Structure 1
Amino acid sequence: MATTAKPQPSMYENVKIQFEKAANVMGLDDTVKKILSSTNNEIIVNFPVKMDNGTVEVFTGYRVQHNNVLGPYKGGLRYHPTVDIDAARALATWMTWKTSLAGLPYGGGKGGIQLDPKKYSQGELERITRRFTYALGDNIGPEHDIPAPDVNTNAQMMAWIADTYMSTKSPAERSKNQHVVTGKPVGSGGLEGRDRATGFGVVVTLESWAKLRNTSLEGKTYIVQGFGNVGYWAAHFMNKNGAILVGVQDATGTIYNPEGIDPEALLRFQADNGTISGFKNTQDYNSAEFFGIECDIIIPAALGNQITADNAESVKAKVIAEGANGPTDTEGEEILLAKGVEIIPDILCNSGGVIGSYFEWLQNRNGEIWTMDDVIIKLRRKMEDAFNRVVITGGQYKTDWRTAAYIQALVRIEMAYKQRGIFP
C-alpha cells in the first residue's frame, strides 16, 4: 500500500513551534504569551498597475505587523512568488524576536508582493513599487512601520518608496519622513555599509563561534546557498578570514570545487551571465545533495525551509550559520542537534541587516552622516554582545542556541509588558 509523504510544516507553523518551546522553557507569563501568539495587524492590498504594453495587471501586496511594544514595526519587503499572508506572518514574528534580541527600539513587521521581478521591466517595477507604497498609505511611517530591502528588493526600490511616501506629505513635512524606509542608496539618505551589514554580521557570529570553540575560520571550508546580497557579502568576509568557499547554490544552479571558489570572480561572472552555472574551474553539482557537501560550515542565505527532515541527515558540517530567515525547519533541526551540529539561529545570525537599518534610521532622524568605520565597529560590537548573551542563556537553561535566542528576546518583551501593563 502506497504511503503519502508527510506535508512539510509551513514557516509560520515552525515559528509557533519554536515560540512554544522557548516560552515553556523560560516560563513566559501566560498573558504575554497570549498576546505574542497572534499578530497585531494584517494588511492586504490589491492594486492595479499599467504595464509597458498598455495592459493592466492587479497585484496583491501584504504587510503584517506582529508586535510594537518595544517600538515601531520594522522589517523588509520581498518580491517573490512565495509571498503570502502565512509567510508574512512568520517573517514579521521573527522580526519581533530579532529586534528584541539585538536590543533595538523596534517591533516586528514584514511584507511584500507576490511576483517574480525577473518578469518585469525596470519601469514596471518602479510603477509597481510606487503604487504599492501609495496603497499602503499611513500603514507605514517613520515612527510607525519602517520597511527595508529583503529578497529581490534593493536600495533603488527603497528610494522609490521614500519618494512616493514623502510626496504624499505637505512640503513642510517631507524632510521629516525620509526615514520611512531604510536600505536606501547612500545619496538618498542611505547608510555607508548597509549593503554588507547582514553578510558581515553572519561572519561576525561565525568568528565568535570559532573563538568559543578555540579555533579560527582560517582554512575552514564552507558552502553558501543563495548568492545575492547576503550570500556574496558573507563569502567576501569569510574569505578575508582565510576560509575556503567550496560550493554555491542559487536559483540558477549549483557549483562545486573542493579546491576553492573565488567569490569576487564569481560575482563578476554572475553579473555578466545571469547565472553561476558554468563558472570556471567548477563542476555542476546535484542540487538535491547540496547540503551534504563535505565542509565545515554551511551558510544558508536564500529562502526558508531549505534544511528539512529530507536532507538534514546528509549534513556533514560542524556549524550552520543561518543567513536566511527560517532556513531550517523544526524537524530538520532536531536531526541536526542530535548529530551534534551547532546552529547559529537566524534571529541572531542575520540580525546585522536590521541593526544596520537602525543606524540608518538614527542617521536620518538626527541629521547625521555616519562613516563606514563607524558602522562596522558599532555593528561588530552589537553582534558579539548578542552572541555572547545567547551562549550564556543556553548554558543557564541547558538548551539549544535557537531557544536561548528566543528566551533572550522574550525576556525583554515580557519586561516591557509587565512594566507598562495592558491598556484597559
Structure 2
Amino acid sequence: MTLTKELKKKKQPKQGMLANVMKQFDAAADMVDLNPNIKKILAVTNNELIIHFPVRMDNGDVEIFKGYRVQHNNALGPYKGGLRYHPTIDIDSVKALAMWMTWKTSLAGLPYGGAKGGIQIDPKKYSNAELERITRRFTYALGENIGPEHDIPAPDVNTNAQTMAWIADTYMSTKAPSERSKNQHVVTGKPIGSGGLEGRDRATGYGVFLTIKYWAKNKNVSLKDKTFIVQGFGNVGYWAAHFLEQEGAKMVGVQDAFGSIGNAKGIPVETLFEYTKNNQGSVEGFPKSMSIVKDDFFTLDCDICIPAALGNQITKENAPHIKAFLIAEGANGPTTVEAEKILLDRGVTIIPDILCNSGGVIGSYFEWLQNRNGELWELDEILVKIDKKIKEVFNKVLNTSESKHIDMRSAAYFLAIERIEKAYVQRGIFP
C-alpha cells in the first residue's frame, strides 16, 4: 500500500508542516509494519530547545530574540541539520524539519541523525554587524547542545557560509586553545578559507539536478528543450537551473519572495542571476520577462517544476492546475499530502525532498570528514563523490518504488525508516 492510499484514511483539516510530516510518517510506519515500540520513539523528538537571548543593536537598544534547536533522533549518528533565519519559524515547523532530516540522512546512508533550528527573525531588517552579534550570541546560548560529534548545524534559509564562520569561531573560542582546532567541524557550510568544502554552495542544487537527470535517463526522456520553472532563486534554485540549462533545458518561470516572472521563450539563468545581484537579490522587474500573478505561478506551462523555497507551497488548491509532469522537491516539505494525492492521481511524478535535496547534507558530510581527517579535496573530486552517492541512493529508491509498486516518496520513506529500525533492533533500547 502506498503512502497516498494510507493517507486517504486520515482526513484532517488543513494544517502546517508538522501535521504534514506526521501524516507521512504514520502512513510510512504502517506500510513498513514498523515495530510499535520503535514507532513511539520516532514519533517524538529527543530534545527541544527554545532560547530567548538579548542582543545590543547598532543604536544601543537591546532586542530579545527567540532561537530554536530541535534534535529529533540520533540512532545513526550525531544530529545534523540546518539553521534558518525567518520570521515564520516556530517550534512546530522546526520539529517537522528535524524529523525530515532524520529520514534524509538515513536514506542517504550517512552516519547522522536529524536536527533543525534557527532564529525567529527577518534578517533583512538588520545590519551585517547586528546579524553577527545575533549569531554569536545565539551560538553562545546553545553552548554544548551543539558539537562536532554531537550536533552539527549547517546553512539553511537566509543563512550562509558567513553565518557558519561566525558560529564556528564563537564555538571554538569557548574551548581551550589546544582544543580549538579539533572543533572546526562543529558546523558545515563554512567559507573555503575557514575549512569549508569546495562546491558546498552548489551541492544541494546539483543534487536536485542529478535526481532529475537520473529520472529522465531511466524513463528515456531527453532534457534537451524541456522547460522548467523554479520557485526560489537562492543557492538551490539557481544551481539546479544552472545545471539543467547546461543539459539543454529551458527555464520559463521563476518566483521568489519579491515577485514572479515568466517567458515562454526562455529566461537565461546566468543573465537573471547577474540581474539579481544588482536588484537586492530579487528577480522582480527582470527585463526579458513578464510579471506573473503570484498565485498563478504554478499554473505556468512547463515540463518540470522545482519548488525550492519554503514548505507547503504546492497545495490542494493549486495542484490540479500544475502542468508539469515532474516535480523535483528542492525545498523541504513543499507539497502537502492532499496535493500529493491529487498529483499522483493525475500521473505526475514527484521526486521527494528527502531524496531530491539530499545533495546538501551529502556535501556537508564530506566537509565534516575533510575537517575531521585534516584533508583537502578539489571541486571536481567532490562533485564526483556527490554524483556517485546521489546515483546510488536514487537507484535504490527507484528500484524499491518499481518492485513494490509504490510512489517514490513511499519508497524513500520505506528505506529510511527501515534502516533506523534495523539499528534499534540490533542495538536494543537502554536499559
TM over 0.5: yes
TM tier relative to shorter chain: over 0.9
Q: Distance in 2 between matches of 1:137 and 1:245?
A: 44
Q: Is it true that 1:89 corresponds to 2:95 in the alignment?
A: yes
Instruction: State the match for 1:176 in structure 2.
Output: 182
The residue number in structure 2 matching 1:104 is: 110
**Which one-letter code corresponds to 1:125 in the other structure?**
L
Q: What does residue 287 of structure 1 align with?
A: 294
Tell me the alpha carbon deviations over residues 153-191 of structure 1, each in whole angstroms, 9 at most, x when there is no partner. 000000000000000000011000000000000000000
- Give secondary structure in 2 for the equivalent of 1:130: helix
Residue among 62, 67, 82 paired with 1:76: 82
Give the aligned partner of residue 358 of structure 2: 351
Matched, 1:379 2:386: yes
Other structure's SS at 2:309 match: coil
Under a length normalisation based on structure 1, what TM-score does the superposition of the two structures give? 0.98
1:7 deviates by 5.3
**Contact residue 307 and residue 328 of structure 1 kept, 8 A:** yes
In 2, are the aligned partners of 1:76 and 1:109 still within 8 Å (CA)? Answer: yes
In 2: Cα distance, 1:396 partner to 1:26 partner? 14
Whether 2:159 is the aligned partner of 1:148: answer no
Q: Pairwise CA RMSD of aligned residues? A: 0.8
Aligned twin of 1:11: 17
Residue aligned with 1:78, SS: strand
Q: Deviations over 1:360-395 (max 9, x none)?
A: 000000000011011100100111111111111112
Deviations 1:386-416 (A, max 9, x none): 1111111112322111111011101110110
From 314, 321, 331, give the equivalent of 1:314. Answer: 321
State the match for 2:255 in structure 1. Answer: 249
Distance 1:188 1:374 in 2: 19
2:414 aligned residue (399, 407, 412)? 407
Tell me what 1:329 maps to.
336
- Which runs of structure 2 are paired with 1:52-71 in the superposition (5 Å)? 52-71=58-77
3-state SS of 2:223 partner: coil
- The corresponding residue for 1:196 is 202
**Please, which of 22, 26, 34 is the counterpart of residue 32 of structure 2?**
26
Equivalent residue letter for 2:54: P
> Is 1:300 matched with 2:307?
yes
Q: Which amino acid aligns with 1:363?
A: Q
Cα shift at 1:23:
1.1
Q: Percent identity at matched positions?
A: 67
* 1:114-129 paired onto structure 2 within 5 Å: 114-129=120-135
* Match in the other structure for 2:44: 38
Aligned residues between the structures: 419
Deviations 1:26-51 (A, max 9, x none): 21111111110000000011000000
Q: Is there any run of 5+ residues in structure 1 with no aligned partner, and where?
A: 1-5
TM-score using structure 2 length: 0.96
Conservation of the 8 A alpha-carbon contact between 1:293 and 1:316: yes
CA distance in 1, matches of 2:131, 2:295: 32
Q: Is the 8 A contact 1:43 1:64 kept in 2?
A: yes
Listed one character per residue, the Cα deviations across residues 42-92 of structure 1 (whole Å, up to 9, x for unaligned) are 001100000000000000000000000000000000000111100000000
Q: CA deviation at 1:336?
A: 0.4
Runs of at least 4 residues off by over 6 Å: none
CA contact (8 A) 1:394 1:400 kept: yes
Please tell me the residue identity of whatever aligns with 1:389: K
State the 1:203 CA deviation: 0.3
- 1: distance between equivalents of 2:14 and 2:239? 30
Determine the structure 2 residue equivalent to 1:160: 166
Which runs of 5 or more residues in structure 2 are unaligned? Answer: 1-11
CA distance in 2, matches of 1:35, 1:8: 26
- In 2, Cα distance between equivalents of 1:259 and 1:19: 41
1:5-33, Cα deviation, whole Å (9 max, x unpaired): x9532101110111111111121111111
Contact 1:25/1:397 (8 A) holds in 2: no
Aligned equivalent of 2:5: none
Cα distance between partner residues in 2 of 1:66 and 1:397? 28
Q: Structure 2: how far apart are the matches of 1:341 and 1:175?
A: 49
